[in-house]
Amino acid sequence: MFSSNAYSFMCKPGIGGWSSCSNLSASQRKLLGSSSRITCCAPTNSKSHGGVVMENETNGSSTVDDFDVNPIPSGGVRDVYGEDKATEDQFVTPWSISVASGYSLLRDPHYNKGLAFTEKERDAHYLRGLLPPSVISQETQVTKMIRHIRQYEVPLHKYIAMMDLQERNERLFYKLLLDHVEELLPVVYTPTVGEACQKYGSIFMHPQGLYISLKEKGRILEVLRNWPEKNIQVIVVTDGERILGLGDLGCQGMGIPVGKLSLYSALGGVRPSACLPITIDVGTNNQKLLHDELYFGLRHKRATGQEYTELLHEFMNAVKQNYGERILVQFEDFANHNAFDLLEKYRSTHLVFNDDIQGTASVVLAGVVSALKLVGGDLTDHRFLFLGAGEAGTGIAELIALETSKRTNVPLDEVRKNIWLVDSKGLIVSSRKESLQHFKKPWAHEHEPVKELVDAVKEIKPTVLIGTSGQGRTFTKDVIEAMASINEKPIILSLSNPTSQSECTAEEAYTWSQGRAIFASGSPFAPVEYDGKVFVPGQANNAYIFPGFGLGLIMSGTIRVHDDLLLAASEALASQVTQKDYDKGLIYPPFSNIRKISARIAANVAAKAYELGLATSLPQPKDLVKFAESSMYTPLYRGYR
């Protein structure tokens, strides 16, 4: 992810976008060629925007835009290094221009091609003798790497090998991931990323992402400016308190933003250099980690209240100050006592998106809508029961209610009555209302208290059962048999991650429902044979949505997330399920088509953003799907002159 020896040029402060960098002279543009980056800076402590980096790709899109906070007087001399506007008490960053070659080129993951460097490149870039004589293609490298990965039987070893490749040769990493997406997604993402986070202290070799701890309070802007890439378009940030269903992993949660952003590039085509993984370290309440000598985070209990709020507020302001209005901040795996408040606080001032609340809602709504093709009826004909009433559960419930209300013109409050949630204390009912967290209150319907899930299933008689509890094996035989006795084709979504926390396995869902369940899970399960028939479980994971959703926001310059954009993403995803998928009982399309799916999601999201007046990249491209496709990062190697 780091690259220190690229061509670097200073340019005006601004905000990442898709228009061209007007500040570059013709000779600079020529000099930059196809594998160059332009780096800008501003004095530390400066109140102006920090800068933008743009990177050329084959599509020629460039990324410095028109939000100029420091216009250049025509004919004047440009303060390209931010040196002139710095006062004497301010420090400037000594950025330098350099060309990677020889040994440093081989060690630069952004530019390294290993044995794929051509003869000409080996001469031009002082690589003779630093590589064995053979020249091989990127295709052959992919074949070699997938064999290498397959050698490992332990998933964590595969994960380490993938991370190692990412640090050595970024384009090969992404080509490999894209070419073998169904095989490697479970390696770089759930379930293996969960184990990686649990063991991050001992497998940690290269620092990845940016760590912002309480120690950096008061100078977060400076910390952001230490990141080598300047044209950041997406940040995925966690504070590590609710990592998948594994709880508080503190600083070790970094595996999640790193993994999510790999998917942004692989599945959504957002350039890796535009992605910034961040972990905010306010301490951890995980006693095991606090006593682990390899733990590398702050060794104290989590800061809460004002201390937490102030750090997060400084972070959000610094992000906007450094990267501008269009930077997308994706909140990931925060505990629900912070997640809802952060989203509420920043949704009107920043481009923020909570993947666990909003992304999950969008993907599950799509799955439910497609499932209706298999079971019949409309959304209003179905009754939903959730195990788990936190971010994912109430987020999904809310979006299903919104879509149903829009489709039927029935008021939201009325629609909500068909949706029931169970939390750790039992069914959410009106007699509990006073003591409920705010996000549960809309779901407190009139009913006698019910403690056990199986009893709730028998009482509520849901057609759809959704697990968002983070508790493994909670959809017991009794629960699934109860669902199967009420429904010809029970829809059972076991969304909790990683696999150990899944409410049931695919085998349990199919066996206990005598092969009648429409089943999907958050982490993947292998196909199951039951009664002579093979059942292929789908994966209901927000990974279907956030990469395309983010691309849609970025390519349209959208400045705020609106619920209708989530509905647009969901609709696009559901529309990608084919008859062939339905015939296999699948309610999601295969991940092997993910780039096409992401382009459609991006286009639908962008179209809605333009319609709502939230998009700022004007004029609107005529064909948004083509535009999305042409905007995507491709991991093929570029030639170096």
Ligand X SMILES: NC(=O)C1=CN([C@@H]2O[C@H](COP(=O)(O)OP(=O)(O)OC[C@H]3O[C@@H](n4cnc5c(N)ncnc54)[C@H](OP(=O)(O)O)[C@@H]3O)[C@@H](O)[C@H]2O)C=CC1
Q: Site map for Mg ion, 542-571, x if CB under 5 A?
A: ------------------------------
313-342 residues near Mg ion, rule: CB under 5 A: 332-333
Neighbours of 327 (CB within 10 A): 22
Residue from 35, 262, 370, 496 touching ligand X (CB under 6 A): that is: 496
Q: Is 326 annotated as a binding residue?
A: no
Neighbours of 93 (CB within 10 A): 21
User: Which residues lie across from 615 on neighbouring strands?
Assistant: 558
User: 28: Cβ–Cβ under 8 A, 6 or more apart, which residues?
Assistant: 9, 38
CB of 497 to ligand CC(=O)C(=O)O, least distance (A): 4
Polymer length of the chain: 641
| Interaction between residue 239 and Mg ion (CB under 5 A) | no
Catalytic residue from among 260, 320, 440, 608? 260
Cβ atoms of 586 and 539 closer than 8 Å: no
Q: Site map for Mg ion, 348-387, x if CB under 5 A?
A: --------x-------------------------------
- H or E element in which residue 530 lies: strand 528-530
**Does 490 sit behind a cis peptide bond, omega within 30 degrees of 0 on the bond before it?**
no
347-376 residues near ligand CC(=O)C(=O)O, rule: CB under 6 A: 355-356
Q: Is 341 annotated as a binding residue?
A: no
Q: Is 281 annotated as a binding residue?
A: no
What letter represents residue 56's amino acid? N
| Interaction between residue 333 and ligand CC(=O)C(=O)O (CB under 6 A) | yes
610 has catalytic annotation: no
Q: Is 84 annotated as a binding residue?
A: no
405-424 residues near ligand X, rule: CB under 6 A: 422-424
206-225 residues near ligand CC(=O)C(=O)O, rule: CB under 6 A: none
Structure tokens at 333: 């795996």
| C-alpha distances out from residue 194 to 157, 238, 273, 527, 561, Å | 13, 14, 24, 22, 28
As a whole number of angstroms, the distance between CA 601 and CA 534 comes to: 30
Cβ atoms of 465 and 477 closer than 8 Å: no
CB of 394 to ligand X, least distance (A): 8
Q: Is 497 annotated as a binding residue?
A: yes
Q: Is 541 annotated as a binding residue?
A: yes
Cβ atoms of 4 and 108 closer than 8 Å: yes
Cβ atoms of 231 and 274 closer than 8 Å: yes
176-235 residues near ligand X, rule: CB under 6 A: none
As a whole number of angstroms, the distance between CA 245 and CA 485 comes to: 29
Residue from 208, 233, 497, 616 touching ligand CC(=O)C(=O)O (CB under 6 A): that is: 497
Please give the size of the binding site for ligand X, defined by CB under 6 A: 30
Tell me whether residue 177 or residue 224 sits nearer to ligand CC(=O)C(=O)O (CB atom).
Answer: 177
Cβ atoms of 550 and 268 closer than 8 Å: yes
Structure tokens at 618: 């004007």
Cβ atoms of 194 and 243 closer than 8 Å: yes
Tell me whether residue 372 or residue 545 sits nearer to ligand CC(=O)C(=O)O (CB atom).
Answer: 545
189 has catalytic annotation: yes
| Residues with catalytic function | 189, 260
Q: Which residues bind ligand X (CB under 6 A)?
A: 242, 244-245, 336, 356, 360, 387-393, 422-425, 468-471, 474, 495-497, 501, 522, 540-542
List binding-site positions: 242, 332-333, 356, 497, 541
Site residues for ligand CC(=O)C(=O)O per CB under 6 A: 190, 244, 333, 355-356, 497, 522, 541-542
